[in-house]
Structure 1
């Protein structure tokens, strides 16, 4: 098998604040294979956007005290700013979640797209060189042709008109399509989509996600979707990483995760999805912990209905609970998913077994209570 296109290993991301050091990302690991679509799922504030901006090198105020981000086998954290700049946008591209604030309101769509084609991946230039290149007209016709062609590929019906338009003249759905077109202009190998439908109505979001799925499949692009919606993740991803308070608490292929959700947080997210049979879910009570004073043990313990005193003290390392399925919860046994946690496994924390598992088979997992409905909810 070829090497993964992206490997994140034991990543920690900290921010210095007036209240102390905020440990926002606490040792996460995940992998994206070439041509694979993965999702990073969790509620607002759990660290999803910080994770992807760390991958892209867009957090100059953050410190990364530990961990690796390997792109095509190369640790990008060891690269110079110029080397990361040359990859960002050209080999690795990102769709931001708010199309209105991500587009420059004083430049037309065409001007912004042509700037991307002209400058993306190029080293920073001196002012004189920048002016000379800006005045060059040799490739303007080709840039214009390519930009209009890309607008057509994202199913904008009047690409020439949109090319000449300002962002404020376009609807939210149109602006989102423009962002997708800009992200795909350079034919990136890795595309990060940070909640691309969050500012759209449900119908428009579905159309945009379907369009994006078709475009990346045609190009065999690897994709990392960021979303708070497990229903969206189910539709677009091959594999799901569930994130809570800066930690990945469950990882599994999409079908497996929905057939056998294990971590209490994952189950809480599923039970929060409205369904025709159960109506609007109650949600998960409580709130995220303070990142400047995080718990020593499980960061979800305060909100978990199954927490025991030991959960507050013992770190719940991810453990293999089935083939290609890992869960970071003391309710489950299994070998550590990462070698660095083998010493923790020597002192197993016994808080019983997951109450929803038939027969108490915690090592191999089990069926959730009820089938997962088509919209991602659970029928109890």
Structure 2
């Protein structure tokens, strides 16, 4: 498990706490967690999306602050679609389609139906408090303690236009006393387009600058992603039938031309299951998710890197009830992880807790995490 400090963890924290800023996202109840619903193979709303279409309400990522993804980390082999290899990714643009459009979602979320079941393990203790004001601003505080990664205090500020169904414009900022800062801004130039800019500052200089432009059409989506001056990626995903979607990705790298890649992607999905795959010159990514019961979903993932000649297989599950959610996974590298999230005091309580456990069999190391999140309305 990599325990080194990385400023990119700010982007994880931002998406976890402030995706749209309402405390209901902490509840484990299935129908109160839109992201679990939109990522479930059972979701009958848009089967073309196969588990990653736009959520009808607000995105939910009930993961404590300062989350350090370990067992849930993907991208160990460098295979698959850019943007889809960092564990589960929540798409947060609800009802964000052109009039009459029925499209397959974005290519970078093609594996969400399976990868949303991965536990997002963390280590140490975290306490997060979030305050919703009467206007569109949300203020948050986070305090973390860890023996692996540097802890400390963080201030979070978010703005969402609650009067609009799609909640745009969207702004969120996270700052630490040490001078590290992360900022994300999202706007909608038109009804069918979204533009996002994410900037991270560390040691008084820009550590990362990422810009994303997404376009939604009647039966397909397209994206342009640029990160620093390192690479630019072009994405395309087309809904061929009600259950089948096909797409492609091209990644061009300026400083390392040999790492440029081209990939094809496909997904078959219905209400009970989802099968997605990406295949390119750098590797293969294969994901499968199936809803066994209304409260139980299982997933399997295979990642093969051609260049480094390495393969990683992962099994995961999600067990959900009205007030708690359990996620667990085990992979061929010997990492076993699990998380438990629970709303305290009942369904309407403004307090939630999370427990995380990660066992690294090859290194014989065990990590335990505990987090509490509260909301003041």
TM value normalised by structure 1: 0.31
Whose helix proportion is higher, 1 or 2?
1
